[in-house]
Structures are given as C-alpha cells and as structure tokens.
Chains A and B, each alone.
Chain A
C-alpha cells in the first residue's frame, strides 16, 4: 500500500507552476460536486497552551485522499491544529485540548489513545528537513524497525518503494549506505517524506515543508505532494499562497485561533465569501 500506482515517474522539475495550477482547478471543480469520504473530523476543537487559547472552536472536515491546505498569518493556530492530529503537542507543558477530533471515527483526544499507534497512522513532515545522522537506508528503515521486525529482503523492498514513492530512488539508489546529511536540502526533505511513508501512514501532515527550500526543490516537493494524494490524506500548512493554490484541493483559512473559511481551493482563491479571507489570499494583509 505504500506504493502509488504511478510510483516513480522520473522527477520532472521543468513542470511549471501554472501547468499544475490548471490541473488543480480542474481537480477541485470535479471534487466539489461529489460526496467525499471524510478522514479527519474536528468539531468545536479548542486548544490551550497554559492560559493562552490557541484554537477556538474549530470545526473542519478533511477529506480522504485529498490535499487540504491550512493557511493564515503566523500565530493563527494552523500549526497547533496540525499538531493536534498526531498529538505532537502532548510533551509541551500546559498544552491541552477539548472538543472532538476523530480519525475515521477514532477519538484522537482520548487520554487512553495509544499515541505510538496514532503516529504510525499519521505521519509528519517538518518545516526544516531533519534527516537523522544516519545512512539514507537507515533513515527510511528507522520507522518500520520501531514497530515491526523485518526480514532483510522485506526491509530492502520497503525502503526501495518508500524512496520510489518519494521520487528519490533514482537519485540515491547507488549510495543508500552513505550519510543522509550529504543530500541537498530538497533531497533531504524528500527523504523525510520517504521516511514518513515507510511507516505506512494513512495521513501525512506537512508543516511548511518547503519553507527552507529553494524554488527548484520546492517545485519538486509540490509535484510529489500532488502524486502522493492518490494514496494519502495530506494536510499541509503553508505561508505561501501560491503554493496552497498549486497543491491543494481544499483550503482552510485560520485567523487568531478561529477557522474563518473553508472550501475548495478554487473557490477560496477566486470567490471567497469572507472579507478577511479575500484580503489575506489577495495579499492585502498577512
């Protein structure tokens, strides 16, 4: 299940954003009319850090096998919302949440939830590429080894297919044993995506995955995100409005801890109903 049908097209960084944007709007127009399976459902979700309330009654549905972009100015709560979905806020002292947040019906806020199992189902890619100080192979094999023991051949296959799914295999297949820190920034970030995929998640959370990358690497990651959508539910936080427009099917606009507006990316960017949303996506503030 870790291998998308169109597993490893040679990465074509020449694809221009406009081409993608056309593809996106076609896809989102299509998806607007048919009912979709909902993967993650938030209802009246509140979150606090100590006495500061970071999320105020967020109600949001995230469709399965679609890309959902969370946008909004810094401190608006979009990263907090992202980190609620894999409980990465747990170790922060004073962090707590109330309301409902479910993944295919499973309560993600429950005290009894097995966080290790949750994080196996919900992978995460961070702002800065953060490969381990290990070989490329060991980076990808790290997650699977945490949860199961593998025969060598199975692990090799898993690593290869995860790297293929992240469009990195062809570039690294001859140096799997060399350090991951020798890769370029864009390659490192694709390695981090391969590493997340290798665990076999249903959902991939991406927290500004391109903000530390140059435009060329950004284009390759964006193309990858579109391709991964076939198999994974993707939620991406981004400060880059064009990026949200290029990669996502649905966009949610956060402002000061509330969800201002949510809808198909096409509609949010061309015909937002809310004045604040319009100002933000058109670049008048934020």
Chain B
C-alpha cells in the first residue's frame, strides 16, 4: 500500500518538474530543421558535382584526343601496339595496357581471393577470441600501409626472391612481383569484408548444423560460407576493383614497357602506370601523349564502373534475408 502511495507521489513530482522546463518555440524548431536540411543537401551535392566534373573532363579530353589526325578510334580499341613516345610512327592500340593490367590483377586476385577467404573463415569460425583480437588489428594495420611501401617491398624483396629461387628470367621489373604485392595489398580488404559477411550469418544456422552432427569444417564450408556468399563475392569484386586501379605498386615494380604478354616474368605496363609515366615525365602538356592518357583513364573508369555495378547487382540478387 505504501508502495503504491510512493509511486503515485513520484509520478506527481515528475510531472511538476517537467512543467518547470522552458518550452522551445515552434518557429525556432522549424528554422533549425531547415538549416540542417540545407547543409546536409549541400554536402551530398558536392560529392555528386565533383564526380560529374571529373567525368566531363575525362570525356572532353578523350574526345579531343580521338579528334586528332594521328589517332584512329578503331586502332585504339583493337590495336595491339602501344608506342606513344618512341619512334617515327606513334601507335595507340590500348590492348597491351589492358593486357598488362589484367595480368597483374589476375595474379593479385589468384593470390588474394582464396587466401583472403581462408583467413576470413579462420577468423570467423575457428580462431579463439584471443587469437582473433590479435590478428584482426594486424590485418587492419596491413590495410593502412601506404602502397608505395608495397611497391618497394616488391622491388626489394619479392622480385629478388623470385630471381634467386624461381627463375633467372625475372628481371628488375616483372608482372609477378608487382601482382603479388598488389595481392598482399588487397588481402586485408577481402579478409576483413568477408569476415564481416561470415559473422553476419546468424548463430542459429551454425547451431542447427552442429546439432545435426556437423564438424566445424562442415558448418563453415556447407552452411556459413554459402549463406554469406553475396557478401564474399562483393568483397572480391571490391578487391579486384582496387587491384585494377592500383597505381604506385605497378608503377614502381611492374615496369614501363607496354607489351602483349602472359608471361609473369616479363616487364609490363598497366593503364595506371602509363598515366603516371605521362604526368611525371617530360611529355608536353596538351600534346598527343598527354591527351592519350585521358582516353586510357576513361577506359579504366568504364571497367571499374562496370565491376562496381556488377557487384551491386550481384549483392541485390543474392542477398539472403535471414529472418
């Protein structure tokens, strides 16, 4: 009874205290809301405007490149000789640059996608929480290393190792050394994002599989990984996009010789490395080489855009709703 009286008295005091507060005016409320809304919209528009500006400049310069008399669109998209700087006759066939990019990216992906997934499965399904609390930060540090460091790591460590222990044919600049360094760079992206996807799989699914007599590997490989597949593939696509766009490592370690080759011991030039070469070298501004790099950039942009869109489509098509 005294309890009920106490509760009732407290409720009365709470209501009284509430009335002592000063009321906010309706006009002030609406005005503040308007200012905040405007600020947020301006920030959102800024990123859109920036993106479109970049796109317009890329396209405008590309168009003026293709308008030059020495350039043929047909040759650009089908040619297999990229020789913009040397010799009497300049050649602008982009395929050697695409081939170099794909070679380095394939090497990086062949290393980082499976290894990254294995690391993610280990962290999410096998590692005791203590081991995980040590490994996960290390992985995140790996993601924070500037790529120029990976570049000279490839030159100073990976390539000499390949030369001494694999084959004498590995020169100072080669696709494999650069590709492996890019692979190490994207490994944390795959591992970290895939691990997030794996951990998002509800524990109830693991319980169900364990309760039917599944081993830890059964549960990981047959339940958790399939359930997290969309997230894993998204992490793969993001990592591949990063590998294609990676510049510093390949500019340092892959070399500057554009050629059609599948030999990982060869020196290759990627699309990004070509742009670095043009903008850091002594190619005259607004000359044909200068403009060619915008055309290359546009191609690179289209490729990465396509990959990003494919990733989003995949995510949407295969996203699993657990509830």
**When each residue 64-84 of chain A gets 1 if its CB lies under 8 Å from chain B and 0 otherwise, what string results?**
000000000000000000000
**When each residue 239-280 of chain A gets 1 if its CB lies under 8 Å from chain B and 0 otherwise, what string results?**
000000000000000000000000000000000000000000
Taking CB atoms, residues of chain B closer than 8 Å to A181 are 320-322
> Do B226 and A143 touch (CB < 8 A)?
no
Whole-angstrom distance from the CB of A198 to the nearest CB of chain B? 9
Taking CB atoms, residues of chain B closer than 8 Å to A134 are 226
B207 contacts the other chain (Cβ, under 8 Å)? yes
Residue of B nearest to A144 (CB): B212
Taking CB atoms, residues of chain B closer than 8 Å to A146 are 212-214, 218, 222
Interface size class of B (residues with CB under 8 A): 20 to 34
A282 to B205, CA, bound (A): 36
Residue of B nearest to A124 (CB): B211
**Could you tell me how many residues of chain A have their Cβ less than 8 Å away from some Cβ of chain B?**
27
Taking CB atoms, residues of chain A closer than 8 Å to B322 are 133, 181
> Do A130 and B210 touch (CB < 8 A)?
no
Contact partner, A126, options B208, B215, B226, B227, Cβ 8 Å: B208
Q: A128-B204, A130-B204, A132-B223 are contacts. A199–B320 as well, Cβ < 8 Å?
A: no
Contact partner, A143, options B205, B213, B215, Cβ 8 Å: B213
Taking CB atoms, residues of chain A closer than 8 Å to B215 are 116
**When each residue 191-207 of chain A gets 1 if its CB lies under 8 Å from chain B and 0 otherwise, what string results?**
01001100100000000
Give the residues from 103 to 160 in chain A that come closer than 8 angstroms, CB to CB, to chain B: 115-120, 123-124, 126, 128, 130-134, 142-143, 146-147
B38 contacts the other chain (Cβ, under 8 Å)? no
Taking CB atoms, residues of chain A closer than 8 Å to B114 are none
Give the residues from 194 to 250 in chain A that come closer than 8 angstroms, CB to CB, to chain B: 195-196, 199
A3 contacts the other chain (Cβ, under 8 Å)? no
Q: A133-B226, A142-B222, A181-B321 are contacts. A126–B213 as well, Cβ < 8 Å?
A: no
Whole-angstrom distance from the CB of B79 to the nearest CB of chain A? 47
A195 to B212, CA, bound (A): 9
Residue of A nearest to B214 (CB): A146
A195 to B223, CA, bound (A): 14
A88 contacts the other chain (Cβ, under 8 Å)? yes
Q: A133-B227, A133-B322, A146-B218 are contacts. A192–B213 as well, Cβ < 8 Å?
A: no
A162 contacts the other chain (Cβ, under 8 Å)? no
Q: Can you offer 15 A-B residue contacts whose CB atoms are under 8 A?
A: A88-B207, A91-B210, A117-B213, A119-B213, A126-B207, A130-B202, A132-B205, A132-B208, A132-B209, A133-B320, A142-B209, A142-B222, A142-B223, A147-B213, A192-B208
